[in-house]
Structure 1
Amino acid sequence: MLLAATVLGACGGGNTAQQTAKTPAPADKPAATAPAPAADPKKTDKIYIPVISKGFQHQFWQAVKQGAEKAAKEFQVEITFEGPETESQVDKQIEMLQAALGKNPKAIAFAALDSKASIPLLQKAKAANIPVVGFDSGVDSDIPITTAATDNVAAAALAADKMAELINSEGEIALVVHDQTSRTGIDRRDGFVNRIKEKYPKIKIVDIQYGGGDQLKSTDLAKAIIQAHPNVKGFFGANEGSAIGVLNAVGEMKKDGKIIVIGYDSGKQQIDAIKSGKMAGAITQDPIGIGYWSVKAAVQAIKGETVKKSIDTGFHWYDKTNIDSAEIKPLLYN
């Protein structure tokens, strides 16, 4: 009996070890935590596309996620949507991209925080015949088969025209931009600055600062600019966090009504500020469309269909006069 018990115990331990080795942890996790489709035989044939964004801290990215999930449902593919905690964490995003490549996806949708840093990993994706779709923010490479994004240069130029109109085409202004490494940061800055230089010689840009899209940091930067340039007449905040930071600074410095604030994106705080008159207006993108097209284009590439080299998802100026219009309202998010 003792011998039999020993043999049975050994068999039981062997089976447990074997089960542990054959059952990887990710297979039991929900889709939002980067699934491993090959671990589940029922999902072997399902297309898996990781969608790696620039962050989660703004409502903009939640709207992009909504669009990506809409496309995933429509085209019956499996996606994960992830991004670093803040838009300054380039290294964290690169780690996410590396991990995504390790899951052998059929395609990858990627919004680069740094237009150059990700290129070596994207080259690996290309070598493995994994199509890469850029969204929101492209990279300095022809590896992505397409990029679904706003024409940020044109959109920022429109913001510059609106600023000039509101300050009578003369005076000092400043910019708070989310970064100088992503394609969106570069294009929004240059689109705004170049339009001012080309068309409005009496407007002087006194400072450009980079707040990483963080409201608190952007607030401090804008306050420092106001202190250094007490005659500043206007600010352009180049993304949601930058714009809210500028708004906070103007309020804290008791400059409401004295400094024109123009933003980019929407979200509840900007919507409320525009309705109350604290912000003059802003550029809105179509974040749901950006997310939707990032996944749709990836599916098209996997199927070998023709995909446009760039997908312009559009932009609009909104202010008190049209914020509740049928054209603008669907593009705003709370």
Structure 2
Amino acid sequence: MKNKISFALVMLLSLTLVFSGCSSPASQAATEKTTEQAPSSDGKITIANVPKMIGIAWWDRFNEGNKKFVEDNKGVEIFQTGATQPDASQQVRVLEDVIAQKVTGISVIPVDPKSLEPVLKKAMDQGIIVVSHEASNLENVDFDLEAFKNADYGAHLMDSLAELMGGKGEYAIMLGGLTMQTHLEWADGAVARQKEKYPEMKLVTSYVESGSAGQQGAYAKAKELITAYPSLGGVIGMDAVNPPGIALALEETGNAGKIKCVGTSLVSMSQQYLESGSISRITFWDPGLAAQAMAKIITLINENKAITDGMDLGVPGYNKVLVEGKLVFGAAWVDVTKDNMGDYNF
């Protein structure tokens, strides 16, 4: 990294203040960060983790990954900060705050990727390393990390639902929000697989948005779907709060087991519904491992090291990553039913 001496001194002083106040391809084989960010004289770096929201199990697990990375990597500090609702304007304000703290890097999971472009550009212009997750369309990032190819994940969810529905019948897809790029890519992948492989299945309506009300929003929208489409045979929930919200609606309307429910969630959020059969299967990647992989990418960039195709990030599921321009893909999803949910404590 090429820095003017004066700028480096300013950044060193800024990082000192922060620490004292806190207790894809260029030839597809190698992509390297060029930044004005200067590490502190003792080699320590600070990473701000800004998820879509804080206070739910998914992002709590993500923060466990942050803490594990700090434990395993001397000289790295990570703090998680965010709004208590998935609100894009609030996320912008949080990012403005962490930029003002002159952190070394930001790991961000956007509510609405497009709305973050200006503030992330501001961060990068100030030499802050930016790595995103679930935001493959972001431009103002060094890299975006995905646990897998999004279209493949969506196709896998459709295969799960089709198996349970016998490849026939009406289904619906629920997302956390219509601006959530990754959810949209999963949904598009699911529909593409259905059209290709399951012609006797039918999407009954456009994608349903559960919104900022979280699990309660998913519950309310599921009840609307059940009323509007009496022949509904299955629902895929893309957001972690969707399957448990859908399952509660199925139980209350007497449709548990009749209408199949699959999707992205965690055992800690869906255990009772897996046990009762209201949710047939959940699929997820470990957000704690994604957190560690993001932090690893930031530390490598800070050391001016290349992020290369086939690289082992030292994190399960990210042992041989695929790098396509700014996109870094792992292979990290798992399926969970009531039979194996005891293997997962999050």
TM class by shorter chain equals 0.7 to 0.9
Q: 1:100 aligns with which of 72, 78, 98?
A: 98
Q: 1:252-288: CA deviations, max 9, x gaps?
A: 1111121111121213241332233221101121211
The answer (yes or no) to whether the contact 1:148–1:313 under 8 Å persists in 2 is no
Q: Map of 1:54-73 to 2, 5 A cutoff?
A: 54-73=52-71
2:214 is equivalent to residue 247 of structure 1: no
Given the superposition, is the C-alpha separation of residues 199 and 169 from structure 1 closer, same or farther in structure 2, using an over 3 Å criterion?
same
Q: 1:123 aligns with which of 112, 121, 124?
A: 121
CA distance in 2, matches of 1:43, 1:273: 52
Query: 2:142 is matched with which residue?
Result: 145
Structure with more of its chain in helix, by fraction: 1
Query: 1:16 is matched with which residue?
Result: none
Q: How many residue pairs get matched? A: 292
Given the superposition, is the C-alpha separation of residues 313 and 58 from structure 1 closer, same or farther in structure 2, using an over 3 Å criterion?
farther
Quote the offset at 1:146 in angstroms.
2.1
Query: 2:89 is matched with which residue?
Result: 91
Given the superposition, is the C-alpha separation of residues 66 and 312 from structure 1 closer, same or farther in structure 2, using an over 3 Å criterion?
same
Query: 2:259 is matched with which residue?
Result: 259
Unaligned runs of at least 5 residues, structure 2: 1-16, 24-39, 309-322
Quote the offset at 1:86 in angstroms.
1.8
Query: 1:82 is matched with which residue?
Result: 81
CA distance in 2, matches of 1:258, 1:61: 31
CA distance in 1, matches of 2:159, 2:136: 27
TM-score, normalised to structure 2, is: 0.78
Q: Which amino acid aligns with 2:138?
A: S
Query: 1:231 is matched with which residue?
Result: 231
Quote the offset at 1:52 in angstroms.
0.6
Greater Cα radius of gyration, structure 1 or 2: 1
Q: Which amino acid aligns with 1:120?
A: P
RMSD: 2.2
Equivalent residue of 1:117, what SS?
Answer: helix
Q: Which amino acid aligns with 1:46?
A: K
The answer (yes or no) to whether the contact 1:132–1:144 under 8 Å persists in 2 is yes
Query: 1:189 is matched with which residue?
Result: 187
Quote the offset at 1:121 in angstroms.
1.5
Q: 1:108-162: CA deviations, max 9, x gaps?
A: 1111111211111121222222211112x12523432222322232122111011
CA distance in 1, matches of 2:268, 2:94: 29
The answer (yes or no) to whether the contact 1:63–1:333 under 8 Å persists in 2 is no
CA distance in 1, matches of 2:76, 2:305: 16
Query: 1:317 is matched with which residue?
Result: 335
Query: 2:178 is matched with which residue?
Result: 180
CA distance in 2, matches of 1:27, 1:278: 48
Equivalent residue of 2:241, what SS?
Answer: helix
Q: Which amino acid aligns with 1:77?
A: V
The answer (yes or no) to whether the contact 2:244–2:273 under 8 Å persists in 1 is no
Q: 1:291-313: CA deviations, max 9, x gaps?
A: 11111111111111112440415
The answer (yes or no) to whether the contact 1:262–1:280 under 8 Å persists in 2 is yes
Q: Which amino acid aligns with 1:78?
A: E
The answer (yes or no) to whether the contact 1:112–1:139 under 8 Å persists in 2 is no
Quote the offset at 1:57 in angstroms.
3.7
Quote the offset at 1:59 in angstroms.
0.8
Equivalent residue of 1:140, what SS?
Answer: coil
